[in-house]
A and B are shown apart, each in its own frame.
Chain A
């Protein structure tokens, strides 16, 4: 069976797939690739099924050596790529010959890149998923040099695209659609106006659980504690210090601080690509009700 030998991981590299569903009532979150769109594209480029596991690479720096010749594709945050020392293209199927190394440099834009391998990363699933949940400590361990990732049997379909055209990630100001609620009534009237008018900045206190945002304080109208309630990814939760947290893939299943607005599902992949220092703005969207 072919495999990928991990030689370097950069800041953080984990195995991810479409996540765990059906266990939230046991306190287990979904996890999965933070940017599901790039994860899905990487799988499509090598003709994998959508739920095959990929490697999520945070800010480049991954080096893997092929054991057996493999076909890979790298999507998401665009980084300089080399295969056996020669430069290679993002968003395209690439052949990595037996013994050769695939290397990802630091991305010029964005934060998370996805490496799909034809056949999928075939580590042992936990509760039906191969995703590493950083918050819950579930799933395969965070990748470290020396780890060997088995590659599954190749799917019946063959790659049939040479390169995918993807929209460029924004470099300066990210705009995210968000719907007010479910707890906007816990805030002063002007808080929603502030949220939809002000600019926020992604701070370095950000990870797969959530992004802490710096910007104008969102003042609450009610004090006291909110009984814990279920959370969704994209929730903009406001802790007592007034600085919002935008929840990503490994968010807690329940939380006790009010959520003022929720980022639209279609914009979550963009949020997951915002590196520390990125400025962002929310625009008000209407719920389809």
Chain B
């Protein structure tokens, strides 16, 4: 664990990987140090934000070092199934990058166990990690200015579902009708950190 400073706004805690991110996040929630306003998990880091006027950042760093995150401790955040039409515009490019056929890509994507590692980019945009490294592909060399809501895509070690129409540089492999972000729902995000995801071809 390596602790970096973000001015007087918080601490950026660097860990080895996603499992440690989830474990540290769970340990923080279980034993929340005083003055913490927000916890932002990401790929290799957990940002701990504080109330700058009232929180002692030295005490916070000590409290974080005193945590004993356990990779087993984080509870079950549940599983969701997402039906997907695998008709994405970048399937051909993904096939070229991976050396797999389009059929094999669909099979790999639906067979893999995915877990939401963290959210970012837009409200409800979850970064999902899987267990099939064959699906790792680079981002598109040029971003699209409009990716439709519900687009299912790959980039790096992640897969994701675009919550609303937005620009985007991920490789599109399909689309779903499931609303991953719905303000009428509580919580509004379907893909929250720790949630396990299965994609089902329709």
Contact = CB atoms under 8 A, between A and B. Distances in A.
Contacts of A252: 120-121
Chain A CB within 10 Å, residue with most, of B49, B127, B164: B49
B150 interface: no
Interface string B114-133: 00001111111111000000
Nearest to B127: A228
A21 B39 CA distance: 10
Interface in B52-86: 52-53, 56-58, 61
B183 A232 contact: no
Given A232-B10, A288-B57, A227 B164 contact: no
Given A232-B6, A262-B6, A25 B39 contact: yes
A145 B49 CA distance: 37
A182 B37 contact: no
B143 interface: no
Contacts, number: 129
A147 interface: no
Nearest to B38: A24
Main secondary structure of the interface of A (DSSP, over half): loop
Given A25-B119, A136-B122, A264 B39 contact: no
A93 interface: no
A7 B171 CA distance: 45
B4 A228 contact: no
Contacts of A66: none
B192 interface: yes
B42 A287 contact: no
Interface in A220-239: 227-235
Contact of A24 (B39, B121, B127): B39
A277 interface: no
Interface in B142-183: 164, 183
B189 interface: yes
Interface in A5-41: 21-28, 30
Contacts of A261: 7
Contact of A288 (B12, B58, B122): B58
A253 interface: yes
A181 B6 contact: yes
Contacts of A127: 183, 188
B183 A262 contact: no
Nearest to B165: A137
A158 B180 CA distance: 45
Given A22-B38, A126-B183, A265-B9, A230 B123 contact: no
Interface in A177-192: 178-179, 181-183
Contact of A289 (B9, B57, B118): B57
A143 interface: no
A181 B10 CA distance: 11
Contacts of A289: 5, 57-58, 61
A138 interface: yes
A55 interface: no
B44 interface: yes
B124 to A, nearest CB: 6
30 contacts: A21-B37, A21-B38, A22-B38, A24-B39, A24-B40, A24-B49, A26-B188, A27-B120, A138-B123, A179-B5, A181-B5, A183-B4, A228-B42, A228-B43, A229-B42, A230-B42, A230-B45, A230-B49, A232-B47, A232-B49, A234-B7, A253-B40, A254-B118, A262-B6, A264-B8, A265-B7, A265-B8, A287-B7, A289-B5, A289-B57
Interface of A: 21-28, 30, 126-127, 136-138, 178-179, 181-183, 227-235, 252-254, 259, 261-266, 285, 287-289
Can you list the 8 inter-chain pairs with the closest CB atoms, starting with the nearest?
Answer: A230-B47, A262-B7, A230-B40, A254-B120, A27-B119, A182-B4, A227-B43, A265-B52
Interface of B: 4-10, 12, 25, 37-47, 49, 52-53, 56-58, 61, 118-127, 164, 183, 187-189, 192-193
Given A25-B118, A136-B122, 16 more contacts: A25-B25, A25-B41, A25-B193, A26-B192, A27-B121, A30-B38, A127-B183, A127-B188, A182-B5, A230-B41, A232-B47, A252-B120, A253-B120, A254-B118, A263-B7, A289-B58
